[in-house]
Amino acid sequence: MNKFAQSNFQVPLSATVEAFIQESPSIFTLRLQLCDSTARDEYSFMPGQFNMLYLYGIGEVPISIVSDPVDSTLIDHTIRVVGRVTEGLAKLKVGDEVGIRGPFGRGWPLALARDKDLLIVTGGLGCAPVVAAINFALNRRAHYENIHIVQGVKHSDDLIWREQYDRWNQMNGVEVLLAADAAGPAWPFHTGQITELLDQVTLSDDSCLVLICGPEGMMKAAAEKLIDDGISPFSIYVSLERNMQCAVGHCGHCQMGPDFLCKDGPVFVYPDVRHRLMQEGI
């Protein structure tokens, strides 16, 4: 056997598009299944991890896995069209093939939230890494005390999965708080900064686990506000983003100070990255 083939982290596996779900004009979900049955059986992941998706002839992009690890044979990726590869992925149809390398990175430490409140704070357009955590937690509702989901968007029109938020909000012990920096007519939720919403969260006590994902400025503002309110910085986790190409800490693009985000993250405990967030050029 070729020496290279034994270490397949560099080489994608082919996967078929099993479903294509248009979430909004620029956001879609690809449900993928590995073609090789052995690889399919061996594949497993945790919420917060990502795959490198390969579009034939164009290249690879890092994409968070949003589906539940209980079924790792169907792997969902929610993707926003932002560049060459994602534009191409948006044109795929059921039955088309792509490549998958993964999963990579450290995911959310959801085990730490056992029997505690879980507070999930997200900003930006349907932040995929936390969607994985939300789905995971709601499917294991009994493992946690109350679950609080705080979502901010730039404009009310950007909110996807509106029905899902409504459904979650009706679940026992689940609180959903939504905010838009700018809102169109008939927006029933908060208009303003996400940090303002954090005052409305009704935590059982301070011993909760907080997961935050979104723009760096929003993550920093939210984390600092929660710390001011008495939550331990060591209970706060953030998911960071940088250019990722190799996904194994070799190519150097995802460095943030001494960390290689692709393998040391993308999820970090807040004190490890607190001083670096929003630092210019780092």
Partner 1 sequence: MEQQIPSFLLRNDLSVLLDLLVADGYQLHGPQVRDGAITYASISSLSDLPVGYQDQQKPGHYQLAEDHNKRFFHWANGPQALKPLLYPAREVLWQAKRNASGSIQFIVPVQSFEKIAVIGVKACDIAALKLQDQHFLQGEYVDPGYQARREGLLLVAVNCSYAASTCFCVSTGDGPSVESGFDIALTELDEGFLVAAGSEKGERFLTRLPLQNATAQQLDAATQQHETVAAMQTRRLEPIAVGQLNDAREHPQWQDIAERCLACGNCTMVCPTCFCHHQNDELVMKGDESQHIREWDSCFGESHGQLAGFQVRDTIKARYQQWMIHKLDSWQEQYGRSGCTGCGRCMSWCPAEIDFVAEANIIGGADE
**Does 252 engage in binding with partner 1 (CB under 8 A)?**
yes
**Does 205 engage in binding with partner 1 (CB under 8 A)?**
no
Across 37-64, b (16+ Cβ under 10 Å) vs e yields eeebeebebbbbbbbbbbbeeeebbbbb
Asked if 86 contacts 56 with a C-beta cutoff of 8 angstroms, the reply is no
State the amino acid at position 186 in one-letter form: A
Tell me phi and psi for residue 71, to 5 degrees: -120, 95
Q: Of the candidates 38, 70, 95, 111, which one interacts with partner 1 according to CB under 8 A?
A: 95
Q: Of the candidates 76, 117, 175, 241, which one interacts with partner 1 according to CB under 8 A?
A: 241
Asked if 17 contacts 88 with a C-beta cutoff of 8 angstroms, the reply is no
Q: Of the candidates 74, 227, 248, 269, which one interacts with partner 1 according to CB under 8 A?
A: 248
Distance CA 156, CA 175 (A): 19
**Does 278 engage in binding with partner 1 (CB under 8 A)?**
no
Distance CA 48, CA 225 (A): 23
Judged by CB, which is closer to partner 1: 93, or 163? 93
Subset of residues 11 to 40 that bind partner 1, contact rule: CB under 8 A: 11-14, 35
- Torsion of the alpha carbons at 89, 90, 94 and 99, rounded to the nearest 10: 10
Q: Which H/E stretch holds residue 132?
A: helix 128-138
Residue span binding partner 1 (CB under 8 A) among the ranges 53-61, 149-157, 171-179, 231-239:
53-61
Residue span binding partner 1 (CB under 8 A) among the ranges 19-27, 49-57, 149-157, 158-166:
49-57
Q: How far is the CB of 59 from partner 1 (least distance, A)?
A: 5
Q: Of the candidates 60, 76, 117, 175, which one interacts with partner 1 according to CB under 8 A?
A: 60
Neighbours of 32 (CB within 10 A): 26
Count of residues binding partner 1 (CB under 8 A)?
48
**Does 258 engage in binding with partner 1 (CB under 8 A)?**
yes
Judged by CB, which is closer to partner 1: 8, or 73? 8
Judged by CB, which is closer to partner 1: 11, or 171? 11
Written as six digits, the tokens of 17 are: 């598009």
Distance CA 178, CA 159 (A): 9
Asked if 65 contacts 77 with a C-beta cutoff of 8 angstroms, the reply is yes
**Does 124 engage in binding with partner 1 (CB under 8 A)?**
no
Half-sphere exposure of 274 (CA within 13 A, CB side): 14
Residue linked to tokens 């409504």: 166
Q: How far is the CB of 13 from partner 1 (least distance, A)?
A: 7
Distance CA 228, CA 236 (A): 13
Judged by CB, which is closer to partner 1: 51, or 235? 51
Q: Of the candidates 25, 188, 230, 281, which one interacts with partner 1 according to CB under 8 A?
A: 281
Q: Of the candidates 18, 59, 168, 272, which one interacts with partner 1 according to CB under 8 A?
A: 59
Binding residues for partner 1 (CB under 8 A): 2-7, 9-14, 35, 54, 56-60, 80, 82-83, 86, 95-99, 241-243, 245-246, 248-253, 255, 257-258, 260, 263, 279-282
